[in-house]
Amino acid sequence: MTAVSVCEIPADLVFELSHKSSELNASLLNNWQYALLTSDTWLTKLASGPSLYRVIWLLIWLSEIDPDEEFFMLGRADMGNMLALTTETVSRNIAGLRRDGDLELLGRDRARIDVASLKRIVKDPV
């Protein structure tokens, strides 16, 4: 879908660094804790609540991970599989968001959303 960068740090190196540089160790642990908290939050948002909210949270997440204003738009079946929803349910929610002007499809696999409006729908402070 998009390019990704991965950094692997062997566990024994992390252990060694914890003894040599407490600041670096603390920074690593803080970053890992933040990543776990973030992923747990997103998993909860994408796996629970009304179908519309789950679709909206997925759209917000997709828009946040893409550096451009427009983002890669998953297919309805893929969205349904990710959210444990039927393709028809996802399609109905997408159609409603488009009709309300909160989602604009740009070609076959790009989209743009009104993040502030969608966050108001799911009652998340902007």
Residue 60: CATH number of its domain: 1.10.10.10
In a domain, 37, yes or no: yes
1, part of any domain: no
pLDDT for res 36: 92
Q: What is the mean pLDDT of the chain?
A: 91
Are 55 and 79 in a shared domain?
yes
Nearest Cα residue to 24 out of 37, 2, 9, 39: 9
Residue 83: predicted pLDDT: 96
Structural domain total, the chain: 2
Q: How much is the average pLDDT of 5-34?
A: 86
Do 86 and 62 contact (CB within 8 A), yes or no?
no
Measure CA 109 to chain center.
17
Residues 79 and 19 in one domain: no
Do 94 and 33 reside in the same domain of the chain?
Answer: no
pLDDT digits (tens, 9 = 90+) for 103-113: 999 988 999 99
Same domain as 53, residue 37: no
Is residue 115 a part of any domain in this protein? yes
Per-residue confidence (pLDDT) for residue 2, from 0 to 100: 65
User: Within a domain: residue 5?
Assistant: no
Domain presence at residue 31:
yes
Percent of the chain whose pLDDT exceeds 70 = 98
Angstrom distance (rounded) from CA 8 to CA 74: 28
pLDDT of residue 49 exceeding 90: yes
DSSP result, the chain: ----------HHHHHHHHHH-HHHHHHHHHHHHHHHHHHHHHHHHHHSS-HHHHHHHHHHHHHHHSSSSSEEPPPHHHHHHHHT--HHHHHHHHHHHHHTTSEEE-SSSEEEE-HHHHHHHTT---
State the average pLDDT over residues 32-41. 91
Q: State residue 126's pLDDT score.
A: 63
Judge if 34 and 75 occupy the same domain.
no
In a domain, residue 122? The reply is yes
Please state the pTM of the whole predicted model: 0.78
State the residue range of the domain holding 57: 49-126
CA dist., res. 22 & res. 20, Å (int): 7
Query: Is the predicted pLDDT of residue 100 greater than 80, yes or no?
Result: yes
